[in-house]
Structure 1
Amino acid sequence: MRWDNLYIAGLGAYLPGTTSAADAAASGAFDRQEYQEYGIRAVTVAPDGMPAVDMAVAAASRAVRRSGHKSADFGLVLHASMYHQGQDMWTPAHYIQREVLGGTAMALDIFPGANGGLAGVELAASHLAARKDSRAALVTCADAFRGPGFDRWRSDNNCVWGDGGAALVLSRSGGPLRLLSTASAATPELEPIFRGYDGWTDAPFSRPGPVDLRGRKLAWLAKETDPTAVFSGLVERLHTVVGQALRDAGATLGQVTHLLHANFGTPFAESQFHKPLGIDAGRTLHDWGLDVGHVGGADQLLGLHQLMESGRGRRGDLVLLVGAAMGFSWSAAVAEVTNWAP
């Protein structure tokens, strides 16, 4: 979808201190072979007592302040997450709204896996395009991947999970980046990959031990007759979504200055993003992400914040943001840097 007169007016991020991957490997928390293969140096780890939602509040406060928008301007608040936010049977989006904005905007929690940030941006853009009485929308993402329910070092492969929060204010009134387009697609036939086949539970995280995403994927592989064809289909879907976003933006891959993707280990990032899109790692923030970890759906928004804060984003640059998540879903967004005043 091509968007006209929509802008990223404010960005915010909260990243806690880091824990060394080398130390984790030395202690046995992180598999030594994976430590050597992935190239991950450190991951961000939230301090004890800080819930994920408070990291979203910290990021959102900065994004809203930078946007220049007031509470009455906002028509929508979206909060994306993957893991526990600090309380059960609760609506974190309203907590963020109360702490940061107040007002009467619709506030919703969304759970599109690691595609949360970009899915939120597309939903927010659709809202602003349809509701002319809304001048701005707030999108936040945050997670803290703590035990005992989750093991950031071993619950999954190809990455280590980091903690943090990110926020973005989408506006019809101008901003340092112009949102040109977004595109999304799903392949629900692949949903069992992350569900596994060990049956349902009656309560959250009630199985013994931490979530075992590795085991679920292995169970699916044992049943799949042609996994190679499935994985090639993943690349095809990536090309489809990216191609649609670029066409709607009136751009080509060759014109993209920066690619922002999820923070995975080097082999997976290269095989899933760099090589399929023909974009060298130097045009990404992959190296930066090796000191952050995979912060769920927040990675792309955190990367966009880092791109602008570091001064790498220059006027006229085209930024391609790409997300993929369990489900399976894909999203892409194209934005153009207009100006920036940190």
Structure 2
Amino acid sequence: MRLVEPAGIAAAALWLPRGRSRADDAVREGRLRKRQAGDLGHEEIPVAEDVAPPDMAVRAARAALAAAGVEAADLGLACHAWMYYQGHDLWSPAHYVAHRLGALRAVPVGVQQVCNGGSAAVELAAARLVAGAAGAAGAAGALDRDARASGTTPIPASAPAPDWALVTTADRFAGPGFDRWASDYGVAYADAGTAVLLRLPAGPSDALLLRSSASVAAPELEVMHRGADPFALVPRGHRPRVDMRATKRAYLREHGNEPFARANRHAIGAVVAEALDGTGVDPWGPGLRYAVLPRFGAKTLAESWVAELAGHTSAEPVDYGRTTGHLGAGDAAAGLADLLRRRALAPGESALVFSAGAGFTWSCLLVQAPRRTA
């Protein structure tokens, strides 16, 4: 989805809890083999011991709103994405986030696309902003035509007020239902809240511009997280804890690894091409500075991402997840926050921000540091 007019990213925030879970403790407890710990590459990852996931999202959102100087009452949309249990049954965490922030005019929307939820929510928010801007322009044009037809003088239009959208994510991978070190292969699951504040039209103070987004899916791979299990009546009806290793083993026994490897190769190339299409950004040019990777284990990134990206762009791969681990739905939003915190992009430079999640879906956001004028 290329935005004819870039959306402004006024702020992005990453909130990390103080608690930590160490890889060597997981090895000592028998939950993780030493070789697997080395493949992951994380010494420790953040753990929220006493903060619920939606409250982590609220903390990140407050930081983003404060950084941009925006009131929650001005938000028109509040998207919240998550992967794992949010703390209540049959309940909307998106509405809770909006309520706690005081965003009572916003329409809360929950997005549950597993690990790709944050990127999906950014796409949804951007599309909503574009549609709102198009509707406002159409209404203004109709009023102008009516005024001219009636012989009256139309009132000069002032600069349009921006529409604001907030995207939050939060996950807490707490036991006993989830083992953050051993519930999956090649990924360590950590706790965090994130927030991204978008507006259209973009403003002169916006930290980044969202130029485009791209997503590619391979729905036939949903079986990797279903395996051979029948449909259960209740959560964790088959096992006492989430065990993605079991379902993936069942998939690999029947299909082998090649279908996923082939889909992953295709998807990474496809989202890069789609994200850059029509933007004027050269995948091999110096203006495309970074490729911000998902927060997966080091071996997974090296074998499945870095090697593949090298055939599609010369942008430098960056892994901001060594000290955080995988943040559930929040990898892409956290990547945006880290780009801003590190002031990684010079004016005019761009970055590709990636995420991927079960289903499978791969996404890429193209962002650019605005060129400032005197």
TM-score (structure 1 length as normaliser) = 0.93
**2:6 aligned counterpart, secondary structure:** coil
* Alpha-carbon shift at residue 30 of structure 1 (Å): 2.4
Q: Counterparts of 2:74 and 2:266 in 1: how far apart (Å)?
A: 39
- CA, structure 1 residues 95+221, in 2 after alignment: closer, same or farther (shift >3 Å)? same
Residue 244 of structure 1 is matched in structure 2 by 274
Residue 155 of structure 2 is matched in structure 1 by none
Residue 144 of structure 1 is matched in structure 2 by 172
Deviations 1:203-254 (A, max 9, x none): 2223332111011011011121x53244122211221121110113321322
AA aligned to 1:244 is: E
Residue 209 of structure 2 is matched in structure 1 by 178
In structure 1, stretches of 5+ residues that fail to align are none
Residue 283 of structure 1 is matched in structure 2 by 316
Q: How does 1:117-196 map to 2 (within 5 A)?
A: 117-132=118-133, 135-172=163-200, 173-174=202-203, 175-196=206-227
Q: Counterparts of 2:44 and 2:279 in 1: how far apart (Å)?
A: 35
* Alpha-carbon shift at residue 39 of structure 1 (Å): 1.6
Contact 1:59 1:165 (C-alpha < 8 Å) held by counterparts: yes
> Does 1:214 pair with 2:245?
yes
> Does 1:108 pair with 2:109?
yes
Q: Counterparts of 2:80 and 2:190 in 1: how far apart (Å)?
A: 18
Q: Which moved more, 1:291-300 or 1:303-312?
A: 303-312
**2:250 aligned counterpart, secondary structure:** helix
Residue 46 of structure 1 is matched in structure 2 by 48
AA aligned to 1:78 is: C
Q: Counterparts of 2:114 and 2:371 in 1: how far apart (Å)?
A: 31
Residue 74 of structure 1 is matched in structure 2 by 75
**1:123 aligned counterpart, secondary structure:** helix
Q: Which moved more, 1:3-12 or 1:128-137?
A: 128-137
Deviations 1:282-313 (A, max 9, x none): 93441x41111111120121122122112323
Residue 20 of structure 1 is matched in structure 2 by 22
AA aligned to 2:232 is: T
Contact 1:5 1:178 (C-alpha < 8 Å) held by counterparts: yes
In structure 2, stretches of 5+ residues that fail to align are 137-161
Contact 1:176 1:339 (C-alpha < 8 Å) held by counterparts: no
Contact 1:274 1:281 (C-alpha < 8 Å) held by counterparts: no
**1:28 aligned counterpart, secondary structure:** coil
Contact 2:39 2:186 (C-alpha < 8 Å) held by counterparts: no
Q: Counterparts of 1:245 and 1:198 in 2: how far apart (Å)?
A: 36
* Alpha-carbon shift at residue 281 of structure 1 (Å): 11
Contact 1:321 1:332 (C-alpha < 8 Å) held by counterparts: yes
- CA, structure 1 residues 120+335, in 2 after alignment: closer, same or farther (shift >3 Å)? same
Residue 231 of structure 2 is matched in structure 1 by 200
* Alpha-carbon shift at residue 163 of structure 1 (Å): 0.5
Residue 55 of structure 1 is matched in structure 2 by 56
* Sequence identity percentage: 34
**2:284 aligned counterpart, secondary structure:** helix
Match of 1:321 among 353, 361, 369: 353
- CA, structure 1 residues 102+72, in 2 after alignment: closer, same or farther (shift >3 Å)? closer
**2:85 aligned counterpart, secondary structure:** coil
Contact 2:348 2:369 (C-alpha < 8 Å) held by counterparts: yes
Give the aligned CA root-mean-square deviation in angstroms: 2.0
> Does 1:30 pair with 2:32?
yes
Match of 2:265 among 235, 239, 257: 235
Which consecutive segments of 4 or more residues in structure 1 shift more than 6 A? 279-282
* Alpha-carbon shift at residue 23 of structure 1 (Å): 2.8
AA aligned to 1:171 is: R
Residue 332 of structure 2 is matched in structure 1 by 300
AA aligned to 1:189 is: E
Q: Which moved more, 1:273-282 or 1:200-209?
A: 273-282
**1:206 aligned counterpart, secondary structure:** coil
- CA, structure 1 residues 34+68, in 2 after alignment: closer, same or farther (shift >3 Å)? same
- CA, structure 1 residues 22+105, in 2 after alignment: closer, same or farther (shift >3 Å)? same
Deviations 1:51-102 (A, max 9, x none): 1111101001111222233334322111000101111111000110011132
**1:190 aligned counterpart, secondary structure:** helix
Q: Counterparts of 2:102 and 2:8 in 1: how far apart (Å)?
A: 19
**Number of matched pairs:** 337
Q: Counterparts of 1:15 and 1:99 in 2: how far apart (Å)?
A: 19
- CA, structure 1 residues 317+128, in 2 after alignment: closer, same or farther (shift >3 Å)? same
- CA, structure 1 residues 282+189, in 2 after alignment: closer, same or farther (shift >3 Å)? closer
* Alpha-carbon shift at residue 316 of structure 1 (Å): 2.1
Contact 1:249 1:334 (C-alpha < 8 Å) held by counterparts: no
AA aligned to 2:241 is: P
TM-score (structure 2 length as normaliser) = 0.85
Q: Counterparts of 1:15 and 1:219 in 2: how far apart (Å)?
A: 34
